[in-house]
């Protein structure tokens, strides 16, 4: 038996250790995938970046300083086939200079001469305006080093205030989510067009590259080690005010709309096709992407993915994975799954809230860690525990309430199947005069009545969370406090015997109405230490039971109840545990067969007809008089009670004892104990 207990305990401990290890390996694996930037998972993570913009946050108000001068279909229709002569651009610059524009940034460059006249006009207009910026584009070799640059002809580029690169670097899925603010051109950093626009708006003449930041005036722009910045897009195409190129050249736009504005000039016409894929839309004019970069810098609305965000990602990978595994230790699998889903959804909401504050933490990896820890570590645990639960159900379902079986399935370790010391309350009952009842009746009738009786009593016992141990002929044994510990086991047992008493009264009425002979029961209750466990031959015949002196005392009390003519006797241990909730009549101090130490025995109130609480107090007072050796006075007190309750056998017993001791007094060391000679 001891070996069996150790084996089961070792098995349970092994299950816990293995499931914890599996969960830990799952969490570590997800963290490793995070650090190695698994392409498949990173693709999903990138999609969440788009999701946060398009489906969750939506469009936001753009910076009012920024606007777009659109080379649109209307302008092409009015000004002629594109590309236009540079004289048209000169007209635009003169008009914008007169309207008070703060800066004009062309998302275009002019790499080849057109004509001396047109080139001179454009250069002269740019020089007069003094706030014109042109685009440039870099070519790279296989090591991503600058291999060449495309810009405007020297005559035009020398006339403008500055240039900014317009290189786009889409992610592997083709979506533009970030931009290189600076490109290292052989030791000299060249800013992007969006950065140049922000500098013009801030009045900054230079920028300062730093460790994971680019400083422009009082702005500190968070960037990665290659000076790339995540773009916080304001919305879909059309987010910024658009003014048609032709309308401005023709003077059809209110100058107040252009005054002090940072104006990006670029193509929006589909025929020119300068379209980019962004989180909001697959056809966003490139000029709007540059405008969004400038907007982020001016507004200080940055999205960061730095060491802090990486640390948070790892923290939540571990935290969500551990939380999901913890749920498997407390909930059933079918409950743990939706609970983990709710935890993951809560985390997704939290990550989105951080995103609104400018922190991009992963939406994919922490929930992934949670579900893998649940499915790997938790599933192993559930598979083993389900087997244990089936074992528990098989062992206990026949004599433990469904509520207790459910608790045992949830926590199999709550009941040690090999043996465990427990504090319990034990009940024994049998049927008064069952031998005479069964004589002269057909066995089928006797068995039918017993089954009806036992069925009713078992329901009552289970109602009070008791464990039905066994049926012994017409007797029944039950206990409280095992296999699950119950803090108030004695109170539950006491409440149960009162309910059994009431149910038996109802059964007797039913039997009488059916013309059947009724019967009565009696029982004994005692509380104390027992050994509780699975007893028998493993693999053949096993049963969960309790053994020990407390069980023997309860059995003796049941048989002793017959001697005193009462329905239920309660031992001193049960009495002490329930004295605050029940009124008792102390019946005697007895020494049962095979025991040297005497015990006090009690009858709970409510079982003897006519013996109310006041009568119980009178009986207890008479008993004290008896123990003080005042035989005559005690006899009179018991006789007075008997006159009112003629069927009370304890009173008759003490009247006889008083009569005996009047004639044959006990020795001087008499302790008031009555020695029971029968079991």
Tell me: the pLDDT tens digits for 420-439? 788 999 999 999 888 888 88
Tokens for 658? 């008083």
Please report the pLDDT score of residue 585 as a whole number: 93
Q: Name the DSSP class of 85.
A: P
Please report the pLDDT score of residue 36 as a whole number: 81
Q: In this structure, how many other beta carbons lie within 10 angstroms of the beta carbon of residue 387?
A: 12
Cβ atoms of 119 and 158 within 8 Å: the answer is no
Higher per-residue confidence, 326 vs 582: 582
Q: In this structure, how many other beta carbons lie within 10 angstroms of the beta carbon of residue 536?
A: 12
Q: Please say if the pLDDT value at position 305 is more than 90.
A: no
Q: Where are the alpha helices (DSSP H) in 477-571?
A: 489-513, 549-564
Which pLDDT tens digit goes with each residue over 499-520?
Answer: 999 999 999 999 999 988 888 9
Q: Name the DSSP class of 304.
A: B
* Percent of the chain's residues with pLDDT above 70: 88
Where does the pLDDT of residue 389 fall: very low under 50, low under 70, confident under 90, or very high at 90 and above? low
Q: Please say if the pLDDT value at position 10 is more than 60.
A: no
Supply the mean pLDDT for the chain: 86
Where does the pLDDT of residue 7 fall: very low under 50, low under 70, confident under 90, or very high at 90 and above? very low
**If you count them, how many residues does the chain have?**
679
Q: How far out from the chain centre does Cα 32 lie?
A: 25
Which pLDDT tens digit goes with each residue over 132-191?
Answer: 999 999 999 888 888 889 999 999 999 999 999 999 988 888 889 889 999 998 889 999
Let me know how many helices (H) and strands (E) the chain has, helices first. 22, 25
Residue 578 burial (C-beta neighbours within 10 Å; 0-12, 13-18, 19+): buried
Taking the C-alpha atoms of residue 196 and residue 136, their distance in angstroms, rounded to an integer, is 12
Q: Please say if the pLDDT value at position 369 is more than 90.
A: no
Rounded average pLDDT over 308-335: 82
Residue 78 burial (C-beta neighbours within 10 Å; 0-12, 13-18, 19+): middle
Taking the C-alpha atoms of residue 290 and residue 111, their distance in angstroms, rounded to an integer, is 21
Where does the pLDDT of residue 6 fall: very low under 50, low under 70, confident under 90, or very high at 90 and above? very low
Q: Write down the pTM of the prediction.
A: 0.58
Taking the C-alpha atoms of residue 550 and residue 530, their distance in angstroms, rounded to an integer, is 6
Rounded average pLDDT over 118-141: 93
Taking the C-alpha atoms of residue 204 and residue 198, their distance in angstroms, rounded to an integer, is 8
Where does the pLDDT of residue 379 fall: very low under 50, low under 70, confident under 90, or very high at 90 and above? low
Best CA proximity match to 317, nearest among 368, 266, 358, 278:
368
β-strands 275-276, 284-285 pairing: antiparallel
Higher per-residue confidence, 540 vs 445: 445
Residue 158 burial (C-beta neighbours within 10 Å; 0-12, 13-18, 19+): exposed
Where does the pLDDT of residue 388 fall: very low under 50, low under 70, confident under 90, or very high at 90 and above? low
Q: How far out from the chain centre does Cα 17 lie?
A: 21
> Torsions phi, psi of 340, nearest 5?
-65, -40
Question: Which residues share a beta bridge with 602?
Answer: 570, 586
Long-range contacts of 506-513 (CB under 8 A, 24+ apart): 507/452, 507/453, 507/456
Residue 574 burial (C-beta neighbours within 10 Å; 0-12, 13-18, 19+): buried
Please report the pLDDT score of residue 433 as a whole number: 84
Taking the C-alpha atoms of residue 542 and residue 610, their distance in angstroms, rounded to an integer, is 46
Please report the pLDDT score of residue 390 as a whole number: 56
Which pLDDT tens digit goes with each residue over 456-511?
Answer: 999 999 899 898 888 998 999 999 998 888 899 999 999 999 999 999 999 999 99
In the sheet with 219-222, reading across from the earlier edge strand, the strands are 208-210, 213-216, 219-222
């Amino acid at each position: 038996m001891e070996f069996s207990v150790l084996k089961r305990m070792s098995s349970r401990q092994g299950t816990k250790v293995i499931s914890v290890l599996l969960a830990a390996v799952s969490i570590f694996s997800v963290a490793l995938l995070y650090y190695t930037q698994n392409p498949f998972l990173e693709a999903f993570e990138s999609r969440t970046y788009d999701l946060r913009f398009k489906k969750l946050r939506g469009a936001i108000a753009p910076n009012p300083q920024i606007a777009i001068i659109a080379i649109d279909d209307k302008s092409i229709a009015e000004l002629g086939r594109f590309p236009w002569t540079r004289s048209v651009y000169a007209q635009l610059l003169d008009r914008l200079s007169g309207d008070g524009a703060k800066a004009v940034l062309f998302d275009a460059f002019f790499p080849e001469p057109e004509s001396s006249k047109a080139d001179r006009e454009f250069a002269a207009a740019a020089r007069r305006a003094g706030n014109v910026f042109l685009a440039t584009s870099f070519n790279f070799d296989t090591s991503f080093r600058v291999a060449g640059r495309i810009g405007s002809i020297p005559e035009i580029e020398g006339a403008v205030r500055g240039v900014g690169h317009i290189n786009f670097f889409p992610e592997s899925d083709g979506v533009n989510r970030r931009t290189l603010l600076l490109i290292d051109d052989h030791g000299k950093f060249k800013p992007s067009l969006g950065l140049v626009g922000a500098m013009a708006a801030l009045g900054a003449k230079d920028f300062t590259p730093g460790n994971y930041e680019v400083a422009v005036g009082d702005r500190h722009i968070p960037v990665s080690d290659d000076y790339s910045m995540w773009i916080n897009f304001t919305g879909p195409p059309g987010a910024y005010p658009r003014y048609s190129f032709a309308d401005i050249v023709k003077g059809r736009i209110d100058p107040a709309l252009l005054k002090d504005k940072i104006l990006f000039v670029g193509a929006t016409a589909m025929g020119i096709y300068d379209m980019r894929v962004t989180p909001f839309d697959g056809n966003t004019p490139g000029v709007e992407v540059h405008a969004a970069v400038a907007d982020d810098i001016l507004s200080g609305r940055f999205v960061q993915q730095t060491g802090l965000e990486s640390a948070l990602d790892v923290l939540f990978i571990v935290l969500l994975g551990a939380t999901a595994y913890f749920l498997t230790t407390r909930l059933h699998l079918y409950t743990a799954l939706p609970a983990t889903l709710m935890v993951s959804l809560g985390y997704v909401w939290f990550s989105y809230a951080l995103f609104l504050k400018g922190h991009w933490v992963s939406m994919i990896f922490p929930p992934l860690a949670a579900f893998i820890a649940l499915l790997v570590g938790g599933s192993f645990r559930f598979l083993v525990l389900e087997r244990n639960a089936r074992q528990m159900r098989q062992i206990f379902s026949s004599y433990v309430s469904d509520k207790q079986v459910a608790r045992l399935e949830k926590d199999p370790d709550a009941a040690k199947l090999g043996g465990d010391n427990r504090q319990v309350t034990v009940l024994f009952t049998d049927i008064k005069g069952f031998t005479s009842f069964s004589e002269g009746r057909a066995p089928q009738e006797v068995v039918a009545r017993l089954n009806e009786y036992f069925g009713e009593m078992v329901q009552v016992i289970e109602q009070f969370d008791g464990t039905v141990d066994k049926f012994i002929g017409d007797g029944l044994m039950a206990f409280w406090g095992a296999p699950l510990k119950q803090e108030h086991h004695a109170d539950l047992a006491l409440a149960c015997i009162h309910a059994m008493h009431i149910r038996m009264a109802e059964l007797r009425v039913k039997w009488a109405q059916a013309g059947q002979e009724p019967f009565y029961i009696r029982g004994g209750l005692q509380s104390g230490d027992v050994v509780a466990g699975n007893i028998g031959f493993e693999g053949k015949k096993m049963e969960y039971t309790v053994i020990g002196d407390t069980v023997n005392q309860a059995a003796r009390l049941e048989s002793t109840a017959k001697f005193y003519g009462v329905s239920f006797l309660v031992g001193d241990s049960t009495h002490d545990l329930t004295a605050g909730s029940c009124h008792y009549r102390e019946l005697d101090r007895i020494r049962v067969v095979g025991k040297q130490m005497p015990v006090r025995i009690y009858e709970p109130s409510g079982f003897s007809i006519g013996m109310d609480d006041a009568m119980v107090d009178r009986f207890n007072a008479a008993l004290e008089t008896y123990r003080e050796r005042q035989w005559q006075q005690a006899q009179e007190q018991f006789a007075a009670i008997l006159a009112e309750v003629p069927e009370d056998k304890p009173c008759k017993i003490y009247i006889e004892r008083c009569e005996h001791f009047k004639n044959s007094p006990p020795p001087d060391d008499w302790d008031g104990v009555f020695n029971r000679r029968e079991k």
